[in-house]
Amino acid sequence: MVNYQGKKFTVVENSGNGEVSEKTVFHYFQDGDVISGTYEGGEIERGTLIGVVHKDGSIDFRYNHVSVHKKIRSGTCHSTPEFLPDGKLRMHEKWQWNGLERDSGTSIVEEI
């Protein structure tokens, strides 16, 4: 299992319908197979996530945030790890917004 405790990530790629950017920083915390986190920066004023880390290191989580425009958004995400040559993690994410639009997209975040 991958240990995400204390790791920080930033966005390197995102679908056009996403709200996070290279200015958004994610900070992960892990207790056993439960993961939580906070994120902020760019268009995101404050966000949280909570989910489960699977034995293969992939994560399923729900996210919620308030944008700098005071919009409240939420969704679900499946994130799959890739180890880079320098030992840091790159996460390949497939996400979907909750709510009426139910748009989906992909993101890549890398450990900083």
State the total domains in the chain: 1
Output the pLDDT for position 1.
73
Its domain, for residue 64, covers 1-9+33-101
Label residue 58 by pLDDT band (50, 70, 90): very high
Q: Is the pLDDT of residue 101 over 80?
A: no
Label residue 99 by pLDDT band (50, 70, 90): confident
Closest by Cα among 13, 23, 34, 4 to 93? 13
Instruction: Assess if residue 97 is contained within a domain.
Output: yes
Instruction: Assess if residue 109 is contained within a domain.
Output: no
Instruction: Assess if residue 110 is contained within a domain.
Output: no
Instruction: Assess if residue 111 is contained within a domain.
Output: no
pTM of the complete model beyond 0.85? yes
Label residue 85 by pLDDT band (50, 70, 90): very high
Instruction: Assess if residue 108 is contained within a domain.
Output: no
Residue 70's region, left for phi above 0, alpha for psi from -120 to 50, else beta, is left
Instruction: Assess if residue 106 is contained within a domain.
Output: no
Instruction: Assess if residue 90 is contained within a domain.
Output: yes
Instruction: Assess if residue 37 is contained within a domain.
Output: yes
Closest by Cα among 61, 65, 91 to 76? 61
